[in-house]
A and B are shown apart, each in its own frame.
Chain A
């Protein structure tokens, strides 16, 4: 990893007037934030709206972000507070067991998927996950191992390099090629 996290570099760009940099932060965290908020509001449409509010609040407050904590921890707190305020405003109770920002990353919600009458741009989680699983199965061994160690085991590039006994640059290249192969399958579904 670089000396300074990419998130911190993005935050500094936003603080210097670069709105596109904030868009990159939204791209990085949108799914996690919507998923987190969904655990509070239990409605996909509300979760989306509340998540949008949370990102806008984060943008307005980003001049006060000094990097004392990781960006994702900071925005998770904003998201949780926004979700709670939304529940209070709509006269519903926030959940008794609070979801900690740290735990939120590890949390695997037992959310039963329902079939939604979805517009074209809305996709179901199952559909995407099935497609990605199939694409990973068809990858060459070295690419499959690299992406699994990274995404499922959470290893760093350095740890993967030690495990696979190859240079870090090779790890980076293998993970990229794995993602690119998956992307080739995924792109038509999203277009």
Chain B
């Protein structure tokens, strides 16, 4: 049993440990200081053969790092299983927020519109402006009531085709009973 564990340690040094062996071995290394010491020696042999040893070797180095890390809080990152979902979910949340804000804004515009008209109409300056007379277009102009109607019908049809009907104000123009605009 121990020999199998030691063989796994050796494979770990070579990064040749099977995925199925990883979790159990890492748990056992975490729980057994003798296994960690053996791993350190196996790694030392590998580093020596590959000429990766510093000129002076401090075999207590990892103990000193561990001691220095005692004061540090443990890291807790969201499980990596869900890490890949963070971006799409965040994007979806932003999109949903924007949609809600847009709907609420449009609704407030639609509800405010009727009440704002009298207020504007009560202001004398605006009254003067509203009373300004629009002259009939000159003969032969494309801006005749019929031409304008055709334009507005096209405009409204375009808006309907885009599925925007609930959110657009239909635009029109009125003619006075006597046929004046």
Residues of A within 8 A of B (CB): 1-7, 9-10, 12-24, 26-28, 30-32, 34-35, 38, 44, 47-48, 51-52, 55-56, 59-60, 62-63, 66, 108, 111, 113-114, 116, 118, 121-125, 128-129, 132, 147, 150-152, 156-157, 172-173, 175-176, 179-180, 182-183, 186-187, 190
Residue B57 CB within 8 A of the other chain = yes
Stretch of B4-12, B92-100, B158-166, B168-176 contacting A (4+ beta carbons < 8 Å)? B4-12
CB neighbours (8 Å) of B29 from chain A are 20, 24
Bound together, the chains give a CA A13 to CA B28 distance in angstroms of 13
User: Which of A13, A27, A123, A182 sits near B56, CB closer than 8 Å?
Assistant: A123
Q: Are A9 and B22 in contact (CB under 8 A)?
A: yes
Q: Are B42 and A151 in contact (CB under 8 A)?
A: no
Chain A residue nearest to B22 in the complex (CB): A9
User: Which of A5, A34, A182, A190 sits near B61, CB closer than 8 Å?
Assistant: A34
The interface residues of chain B, by DSSP majority, are classed as: helix
9 more contacts with CB within 8 A, not counting A63-B77, A147-B49, are A12-B80, A17-B76, A19-B66, A23-B36, A44-B55, A56-B65, A122-B57, A132-B49, A157-B14
Q: Are A14 and B75 in contact (CB under 8 A)?
A: yes
Chain B residue nearest to A104 in the complex (CB): B52
CB neighbours (8 Å) of B48 from chain A are 125, 128-129, 132
B interface size (C-beta, 8 A): 58
Nearest-CB distance from A90 to chain B (Å)? 19
Q: Are B26 and A150 in contact (CB under 8 A)?
A: no
Bound together, the chains give a CA A26 to CA B16 distance in angstroms of 18
Bound together, the chains give a CA A10 to CA B30 distance in angstroms of 11
Bound together, the chains give a CA A14 to CA B17 distance in angstroms of 19
- Contacts A2-B17, A63-B75, A186-B45 known; A56 to B56 CB distance under 8 Å? no
User: Which of B18, B19, B42, B54 sits near A31, CB closer than 8 Å?
Assistant: B54
List 23 A–B pairs whose Cβ atoms lie within 8 Å, in order of A's numbering.
A3-B19, A4-B19, A4-B22, A16-B76, A24-B29, A34-B61, A44-B55, A56-B65, A56-B72, A60-B72, A63-B77, A108-B51, A125-B53, A125-B54, A128-B44, A150-B14, A151-B49, A157-B16, A176-B7, A176-B10, A179-B46, A186-B41, A190-B59
CB neighbours (8 Å) of B49 from chain A are 132, 147, 151-152
Residue B89 CB within 8 A of the other chain = no
Residue B134 CB within 8 A of the other chain = no
Q: Are B80 and A52 in contact (CB under 8 A)?
A: no
Bound together, the chains give a CA A63 to CA B76 distance in angstroms of 8
CB neighbours (8 Å) of A122 from chain B are 56-59
Q: Are B26 and A9 in contact (CB under 8 A)?
A: yes
Bound together, the chains give a CA A4 to CA B41 distance in angstroms of 24
User: Which of B18, B30, B53, B54 sits near A47, CB closer than 8 Å?
Assistant: B54
Residue B135 CB within 8 A of the other chain = no
